[in-house]
A = this chain, B = another copy of it.
Amino acid sequence: MPTQPCLTPVDFNKLQSVCSACSLRELCLPAGLDPEELAQVDQLVNRRQPVKRGDYLYRAGAALRSLYAIRTGFMKSSVLHEDGREQVAGFHMMGDLLGLDAISTGQHMCDTLALEDSEVCEIPFAVLERLSREIPSLQQHFHRIMSREIVRDYGVMLLLGSMRAEERLAAFLLNLSQRFAARGYSSLEFNLRMTREEIGSFLGLKLETISRVLSHFQDQGLIEVRNKRIRIASIDGLRALIGQQA
């Protein structure tokens, strides 16, 4: 039996993105909770909290108290090497669940910063653990979310370890496009919330390379770029670049 391809780069977050709202309730829970369970889950996620652009949601080293579901806004998570090099590990938007890295040691392992004014729901982790013992569908759901993050990470490794600059950027744009689509926004026209440098850090490239490849895509008629504004002119062209048939 031949090995099957399992992870196309654009897949990273396919599943993640079906959750289009922020609270765990709207977001995620398979239907079928009884009213009391629903009330419990509601209570779990009822703390809201604004995070201003440029503020950290949490820093590496901080103690884990809560996980956070993004209600609105856009964030990045990054790990820091001791010499100051930063590696962006992911960009997060509405519906994403943050802080999973902190469960391991009880301390956050990365910094998470708001790239625009955002709002998150705080989910006290102790309560989540307790409730997920009582509500099997919540437990299942939580496990799936953690696993999905692992799968996403494998996709990023594939991207960083074996794709060329153009492929990385094409995969990145397609991934963003798909996640916007899953949240009800346009999949073909959107703003990048992050700088070229942040994209570069995520993709293992330098900001100049990001800029050049974007310009190159534009010359080929694949996209139109104007600063942070992106319009995808040929999504099939981008897909072709990473070896995906339309």
Contact A154 B109 (CB under 8 A): yes
A9 vs B85: C-alpha distance in the bound complex, in angstroms? 12
Contact with B along A204-243 (1 / 0, CB 8 A): 1000000000000000000000000000000000000001
A145 vs B204: C-alpha distance in the bound complex, in angstroms? 27
The chain A residues found within 8 Å of chain B, CB to CB, are 1, 3-9, 15, 59-61, 79-83, 85-89, 100-105, 108-111, 129, 132-134, 136, 139-140, 143-144, 146-151, 153-158, 160-163, 201-204, 243-244
Copies in the complex: 2
- Distance in Å: Cβ of A85 to nearest Cβ of chain B: 5
A80: which of B7, B102, B103, B151 is its contact (CB, 8 Å)?
Answer: B7
- Residues of chain B within 8 A (CB-CB) of A105 are 15, 151
Contact B153 A157 (CB under 8 A): yes
- Residues of chain B within 8 A (CB-CB) of A161 are 87-88, 160, 201-204
A111 vs B2: C-alpha distance in the bound complex, in angstroms? 11
A157: which of B9, B89, B133 is its contact (CB, 8 Å)?
Answer: B89
Contact B140 A129 (CB under 8 A): yes
- Distance in Å: Cβ of A175 to nearest Cβ of chain B: 15
